[in-house]
Structure 1
Amino acid sequence: MKSSGIVLFHRVFDKKYKPELFGMLMSALDSFAKELSEAGFNSFEFDNKRYSIKKANKYLFVASSSPKHRMKKVNQEMMSLAKSFFEIYDRDLLDHFDGDTSVLKSCEECFKAEIQDSLEEPVKKFWEGIIKH
């Protein structure tokens, strides 16, 4: 999402909140945190989930996970996703993005395919561990 709160891409398994409202909330929280501390914030917990935030090139990447998951692993996955995002979406397109998310639709399937392994890998490892034991 842009730091302004415009959601460019979302992948939600539990559609409890509208992406647009969540994006605006994240942007507002980030702005508020910057007023309190120059560093801002990088995570918070709400409704039995931890929300981790990574900032890269004026964009916010947000992931939700169980508070039981290691932050280091979540952060590694988020950085990998951010890298993929900037490789797939053209720099010129992002630099001149005016809020019209329809221009991103052409690459959306490419990005989904790119991140699929990242999303499925923890589940695969979980089931492989159960089957082996």
Structure 2
Amino acid sequence: MEKIIQDIWILNDAGAVLYHRVFKKSLDEQLIGALMSALNLLAEELEKGGLSNFELKDKKYIFMKQHGISFIVNSSKKTKEKKVKEEMKSIVDKFFTLYPKEMLNNWDNDLSVFDDFEKHIKDSLQDTIDKFEKAFW
């Protein structure tokens, strides 16, 4: 399986980042999460269903919402959107298998519960810049 997703953010309806993994750290994850949440809210006001994707420079961002949880991923513009959405659907399914709706409804705001999510989706995520740098130094 090809690793096509570079960054991922998982946000609740309040805009809090439950989980994130970024390819190259450059900005605060909560700030990025707030921006993504605001963009999705704006899009929902403009058109029912919210924002599904947008492109910036050389990256494509794709949004998916399920059970009040927003999933945002990005990948290279060169990667086919259908392929990214299939990978995203797999990630969403794994998330709700590990963290069922009932658990999320009773969640106590402890973000550490989501810390091990990456090990369940590592086959979908491109290795980070840090890992590339360590391999060469």
- Tell me the TM-score normalised to structure 1 length: 0.79
Structure ranking higher in helix proportion: 1
In structure 2, the partner of 1:112 is 118
Larger radius of gyration: 1
When the two chains are superposed, the root-mean-square deviation of aligned CA atoms in Å is: 1.6
Aligned residue pairs, count:
116
Deviation per CA, 1:72-116: give whole Å up to 9, x if none.
Answer: 0000011100100111124332112354323x15xx22x222111
Q: Structure 1 segments of 4 or more deviating over 4 A?
A: none
Matched residue SS, 2:78 = coil
Higher relative contact order (CA 8 A, sep 6+): 2
Determine whether 1:62 maps to 2:72.
Answer: yes
Deviation per CA, 1:14-67: give whole Å up to 9, x if none.
Answer: 112211011111111111111111122101112421111111111111111111
Cα distance in 1, alignment partners of residues 28 and 55 from structure 2: 18
Decide whether the 8 Å contact of 2:61 with 2:75 is kept in 1: yes
Whichever residue aligns with residue 103 of structure 2, its letter is L
Q: Give % identity.
A: 40
**Unpaired runs of at least 5, structure 2:** 1-10, 127-137
**Unpaired runs of at least 5, structure 1:** 121-133
Structure ranking higher in strand proportion: 2
1:47–1:5 CA distance, 2 compared to 1 (3 A): farther
